[in-house]
Structure 1
Amino acid sequence: MAKKPIIGITMGDPAGNGSEISVKALADSSVYERCRPIIIGDANCMEKAVKILGKENEIKIHAVQDVKEAIFEFGTIDVYDMKLVDMEKHMYGKVSKMCGEAAFQYVVKVIDLAMKNEIDATVTNAICKEAINMAGHHYSGHTEIYADYTHTNKYTMMLAHDDLRVVHVSTHVSLRQACDKVKKERVLECIRIANNACKAIGIQEPKIGVAGLNPHCGENGMFGVEEIEEIQPAINEAMEEGINIPEKKPTPPDSIFSKAIGGWYDIVVAMYHDQGHIPLKVEGFKYNKDLKKWDAVSGINVTLGIPIIRVSVDHGTGFDLAGTGECNQISLVNSIDYAIRLAENR
Structure 2
Amino acid sequence: MNKHLETPIIAIPIGDPAGIGPEITIKTLNEKEIYGVAKPVVIGNEAVLQKALTLSHVDLKIRCINEPAEGRFEYGTIDLIHLDNIETDRFAFGKVSGMCGRAAYEYIKKAIELVQQNKAGSIATPPINKESLKAGKVSYIDHTAMLSAFTGVEDPLTMFEVHSLRIFFLTRHLPLKDAISEMTKERVNDYLNRCSEALKRLGLETRKLAVAGLNPHAGENGLFGTEEMDELTPGIELAKQDGIDAVGPMPADSVFHQAMNGKYDAVLSLYHDQGHIAAKMADFERTVSITNGLPFLRTSVDHGTAFDIAGKGIASSVSMIECVKAAAKYTPFFNKQYLFH
Fold-level similarity (TM above 0.5): yes
Alignment correspondent of 1:256:
255
Letter in structure 1 aligned against 2:254: S
Q: Aligned runs of 1:10-21 on 2, under 5 Å?
A: 10-21=13-24
CA deviation after TM superposition for structure 1 residue 306, in Å: 1.1
CA distance in 1 between counterparts of 2:306 and 2:198 reads 29
CA RMSD of aligned residues (A): 1.6
CA distance in 2, matches of 1:189, 1:209: 14
Between 59-68 and 21-30, the greater mean CA deviation after superposition: 59-68
Structure-1 separation of matches of 2:140 and 2:233: 32
> In the alignment, which residue of structure 2 is the partner of 1:6?
9
Alpha-carbon offset, residue 222 of structure 1:
4.2
Which secondary structure state, in structure 2, belongs to the residue aligned with residue 249 of structure 1? strand
What is the CA deviation profile of residues 160-197 of structure 1, one whole-angstrom value per residue up to 9, with x for unaligned ones? 11011101011122222211211223222221232223
Q: Which residue of 1 aligns with 2:293?
A: 305
Structure 1 residue matching 2:245: 3-state secondary structure = coil
The aligned residue for residue 320 of structure 1 is 308
Q: Which runs of 4+ in 1 moved over 6 A?
A: none
Distance in 2 of aligned mates of 1:136 and 1:173: 24
Tell me if 1:282 matches 2:270: no
- Deviation of 1:94 (Å): 0.7
Q: How does 1:156-305 map to 2 (within 5 A)?
A: 156-245=157-246, 248-285=247-284, 297-305=285-293
Q: Which moved more, 1:123-132 or 1:133-142?
A: 133-142
Assess if the C-alpha contact under 8 Å between 1:143 and 1:157 holds in 2.
Answer: no
Alpha-carbon distance in 2 for matches of 1:240, 1:141: 36
Q: Counterpart of 1:343?
A: 331
Please tell me whether residue 332 in structure 1 is matched to residue 320 in structure 2.
yes
Instruction: Kindly state the Cα deviation for residue 316 of structure 1 after the two structures are TM-superposed.
Output: 0.9
CA contact (8 A) 1:193 1:304 kept: no
Distance in 2, matches of 1:31 and 1:219, equals: 47
User: What does residue 99 of structure 2 align with?
Assistant: 98
User: For residues 212 and 141 of structure 2, what CA distance do their matches in structure 1 show?
Assistant: 25
Aligned equivalent of 1:292: none
Per the TM alignment, residue 139 of structure 1 is displaced from its structure 2 partner at its CA by: 3.2
Structure 2 unaligned spans of 5+: 335-341
Q: Please report how far the alpha carbon of residue 12 of structure 1 lies from its aligned counterpart in structure 2 after TM superposition.
A: 0.7
The Cα of 1:242 is off from its aligned counterpart by 2.2
Paired residues of 1:93 and 1:322 also in contact (CA < 8 A): yes
| SS across alignment from 1:86 | coil
Identity among equivalent positions (%) equals 37
What is aligned with 1:70? 71
In the alignment, the residues of structure 2 paired with residue 215 and residue 98 of structure 1 have an alpha-carbon distance, to the nearest angstrom, of 47
Q: Does structure 2 conserve the Cα–Cα contact (< 8 Å) formed by 1:159 and 1:167? A: yes
TM-score (norm 1): 0.91
| CA distance in structure 1 between the partners assigned to 2:64 and 2:177 by the alignment | 47
Give the TM-score normalised by structure 2: 0.92
SS at match of 1:166: strand
Q: Is the 8 A contact 1:201 1:341 kept in 2?
A: no
Task: Tell which deviates more after alignment, 331-340 or 63-72.
Answer: 63-72
Q: Which amino acid is 1:310 matched to?
A: R
Consecutive unaligned residues of structure 1, counting only runs of 5 or more, are: 286-296
Q: How many residues align?
A: 331
Letter in 1 for 2:128: I
